[in-house]
Amino acid sequence: MALSRSDTSVLGRWWWTVDRWTLVALLVLVGFGYVMMLAASPAVAERIGASSRHMFFIKQVAYLGLATLLMVAVSLLSVRGVRRLALLGFAAAVVLTAATLVVGTEIKGARRWLPIPGFSLQPSEFLKPFFAVVAAWLIAEGKMPGSKVWGASIAVVLFVLVAGILKSQPDIGMLLVVAAVFFAQFFVAGMNLFIVGAVGGLGVLGAVGAYMIFPHVQSRVHRFLDPESGDSYQVSVALEAFANGGLLGRGPGEGRVKNVLPDAHADFVFAVAAEEYGMVVCMVIIALFAFVVVRGLMRLLGESDLFVMLAGTGLLTQFGLQAFVNMGSTLHLIPTKGMTLPFVSYGGSSVLAIAVGMGMLLALTRRRTGARAEDGQAAPASAVAAGGLG
Is the four-CA dihedral 257, 262, 266, 268 of positive or negative sign?
negative
Is the four-CA dihedral 72, 73, 79, 84 of positive or negative sign?
negative
Given a cut of 70, whether residue 359 has pLDDT beyond it is yes
Most confident of 14-23, 215-224, 351-360, 374-383: 351-360
In this predicted structure, what is the pLDDT of residue 4? 65
pLDDT band for 128, please (50, 70, 90 cuts): very high
In this predicted structure, what is the pLDDT of residue 371? 40
The answer to which of 240-254, 289-303, 362-376 has the lowest mean pLDDT is: 362-376
pLDDT band for 216, please (50, 70, 90 cuts): low
In this predicted structure, what is the pLDDT of residue 12? 78
Query: What pairs with residue 119 in β-bridges?
Result: 116
Angle between helices 348-364 and 53-75 (to 10 degrees): 20
pLDDT digits (tens, 9 = 90+) for 315-348: 999 999 999 999 998 888 888 777 889 999 887 8
Domain ranges, ordered by start, for the chain: 10-384
pLDDT digits (tens, 9 = 90+) for 247-277: 888 888 788 887 777 777 778 889 989 999 9
Q: What is the mean pLDDT of residues 93-102?
A: 91
Question: What's the mean pLDDT when you consider all of the chain?
Answer: 82
Give me the phi and psi of 168, to 5 degrees please. -75, -20
Given a cut of 50, whether residue 386 has pLDDT beyond it is no
3-state secondary structure of 284: helix
pLDDT band for 95, please (50, 70, 90 cuts): very high
Q: How far apart are CA 25 and CA 13, in angstroms?
A: 20
Question: Between these two residues, 364 and 36, which has the higher pLDDT value?
Answer: 364
In this predicted structure, what is the pLDDT of residue 372? 43
CA-nearest of 127, 129, 101 to 114 is: 101
pLDDT band for 285, please (50, 70, 90 cuts): very high
> Is the separation of the CB atoms in 84 and 74 below 8 Å?
no
Q: What is the mean pLDDT of residues 86-95?
A: 95
pLDDT band for 56, please (50, 70, 90 cuts): low
DSSP 228: G
pLDDT band for 75, please (50, 70, 90 cuts): very high
In this predicted structure, what is the pLDDT of residue 362? 96
Distance of CA 296 to CAs 103, 159, 215, 344, Å? Answer: 39, 25, 38, 20
Distance of CA 233 to CAs 41, 224, 226, 268, 336, Å? Answer: 20, 12, 13, 12, 11
pLDDT band for 388, please (50, 70, 90 cuts): very low
- Distance between first and last Cα of the chain: 20
Render the burial of 134-167: b for 16+ CB within 10 Å, e for the rest.
bbbbbbbbbbeeeeeeebbebbbebbeebbebbe
Given a cut of 70, whether residue 1 has pLDDT beyond it is no
pLDDT band for 278, please (50, 70, 90 cuts): very high
Question: Between these two residues, 235 and 202, which has the higher pLDDT value?
Answer: 235
In this predicted structure, what is the pLDDT of residue 336? 76
pLDDT band for 52, please (50, 70, 90 cuts): low
Q: What is the mean pLDDT of residues 122-149?
A: 88
Check: pTM over 0.75? Answer yes or no: yes
DSSP assignment string, 2-42: ---TT--SHHHHHHHHS-HHHHHHHHHHHHHHHHHHHHHHH
Given a cut of 50, whether residue 384 has pLDDT beyond it is no
Q: What is the mean pLDDT of residues 49-78?
A: 81
